[in-house]
Amino acid sequence: MTTTSTTALDPQRVQRRTVFLLSSAQLLSGIGNGATLSIGSLLAVDLSGSEAWAGSITTVLTLSAALSALPLARLAESRGRRVGLVSGLIAAMIGALLVMASVVGESFPLLLLAAGFLGLGTAANLQSRFAAVDLAHAEHRGRSLSTVVWAITIGAVAGPNLIQPGAAVGAALGLPPIAGPFVFSAAGLFLAAVLLFAGLRPDPLLLARRLASESAGIGTLPVRGTIRSGLQAVRSSSRAILALAAVVAAHGVMVAIMSMTPLHLQQLVGGSHAGHHGGTTDSTDALVLIGLTISLHVAGMFALSPLWGWLTDKAGRIQTIAIGHGLLLVAVLIAGIGQQEPVLVTTGLIILGLGWSAATIAGSTLLAESIAEEQRVTVQGVSDTLMGAAGATGGATSGLVLAWLGYEGLNIAAGLLAAVMLALTAATAARVRRSIPV
């Protein structure tokens, strides 16, 4: 397939097949993400013995995703999307197995190592959305990207609710109950990797590059990217600057609030020591509430992705970015003001997911079309690196902010960042309306 002449291929047929395969892989791998989001902070506290480490799993996972994004992008540049995505998924499968080993061995350092491997899967999932637009027409980029983002919904929503089924599976395998959900995670990641390895042929990035070369009559070689070269490419366009800032800020706000919400709900419902290996009624109620809240939050992140893709194509990229950050601001206000009411906290987390989805889909689409072809994959890798860095920063600092200012203060701090992004979006939109080249 890789040697087939491009004249014998229908690019749009390949595009439809690519979106289907990427969507199917996202569905399977989403189970691992959902389990980690809902249980990670509880495992960290349990194995470390201190609530100060509550945000460590999110921090390590997002930092790993940040550090691996550019190497995976370079791998995609040289070998194609298939190799880059499969490598990340296999690493994440190893991470899920290491989580189980850390619980069995009661090893906190091993849990941190597992989170690092899982972060490579996060980086691969993020890059899947860019793979969806390699061959897409300009008027369909938002919808193609959002379809792949949407596909993770089923797996990611199911993940947090696998606590009880996972406990049964874990017991059958001789594992502690809290390790059980990661059996599903490892299986889903393995199946996703096999699906892409076997099916993603021809590779969408390599085919798009060959088509562009044939159309231009010359060979266009990709630039071997670095963070510096990627940022230089972004600085050449105000649209690219806005796009990059939109996705990075949205991810930082979302991770900061999401990573501390399970701990806040645990303290609110079951007391500060609930959720350990105890098994009291209060701790069970807290786990159920946490699973439901994170499930609904993840549903907000992915379930309405097709709507945001449609708005991105129809209403405009910049307008949808503004909607996304406006929703983030509303979300943190509701969660912060209603911090003592689980219903309001859950409502805020749902809206937080919606805002993240709108800003990420519109921002990613705008970024993909604002950069020259030879720099595009590098800039996409830089974007994911900075998203991961923002998430790691949010995860690392959110625990400290929670301790100093409480859950309400954490939401206020996140809201300030969303407000700044709204101002930047408005300024960029004004430049576009005045027809100033950007």
Any domain includes 214: no
Nearest to 40 by CA among 258, 302, 328: 258
Any domain includes 406: yes
pLDDT surpasses 60 at 293: yes
Can you give the residue range of the structural domain that contains 415? 10-206+223-432
Nearest to 258 by CA among 8, 9, 38, 70: 38
pLDDT tens, residue by residue, 41-84:
778 888 888 877 877 887 788 788 888 988 998 899 889 999 99
Any domain includes 217: no
pLDDT surpasses 70 at 296: yes
Range from 1-10, 284-293, 420-429 carrying the lowest mean pLDDT: 1-10
pLDDT surpasses 60 at 4: no
Number of structural domains (the chain) is: 1
Averaged confidence pLDDT in the chain: 84
Nearest to 418 by CA among 354, 342, 343, 346: 354
pLDDT surpasses 80 at 394: yes
More confident residue, 436 or 26: 26
Any domain includes 3: no
Q: Between the CA of residue 4 and those of 34, 129, 210, 254, 297, what are the distances in Å?
A: 39, 25, 11, 43, 44
- C-alpha to C-alpha distance for 73 and 286, rounded to whole angstroms: 40
Q: Between the CA of residue 438 and those of 232, 360, 431, 434, what are the distances in Å?
A: 15, 20, 8, 11
- C-alpha to C-alpha distance for 375 and 79, rounded to whole angstroms: 16
SS3 of the chain: the string is CCCCCHHHCCHHHHHHHHHHHHHHHHHHHHHHHHHHHHHHHHHHHHHHCCHHHCCHHHHHHHHHHHHHHHHHHHHHHHHCHHHHHHHHHHHHHHHHHHHHHHHHHCCHHHHHHHHHHHHHHHHHHHHHHHHCCCCCCHHHHHHHHHHHHHHCHHHHHHHHHHHHHHHHHHHHCCCCHHHCHHHHHHHHHHHHHHHHHHHCCCCHHHHHHHHHHHHHCCCCCCCCCCHHHHHHHHHCCHHHHHHHHHHHHHHHHHHHHHHHHHHHHHHHHHCCCCCCCCCCHHHHHHHHHHHHHHHHHHHHHHCCHHHHHHHHHHCCHHHHHHHHHHHHHHHHHHHHHCCCCHHHHHHHHHHHHHHHHHHHHHHHHHHHHCCCHHHHHHHHHHHHHHHHHHHHHHHHHHHHHHHHHHHHHHHHHHHHHHHHHHHHHHHHHHHHHCCCCC
**pTM for this structure?**
0.78
pLDDT tens, residue by residue, 123-177:
898 899 889 988 888 888 899 999 888 887 766 666 666 667 777 887 888 888 7
Any domain includes 213: no
Any domain includes 218: no
Any domain includes 84: yes
Q: What is the pLDDT of residue 94?
A: 96
Q: How remote is the C-alpha of 15 from its chain's centroid?
A: 22
pLDDT tens, residue by residue, 136-146:
888 888 999 99
Any domain includes 211: no
Q: With beta carbons less than 8 A apart as the criterion, state whether 378 and 233 touch.
A: yes
CATH of residue 73's domain is 1.20.1250.20
Q: pLDDT-derived band of residue 223, with 50, 70 and 90 as boundaries?
A: low
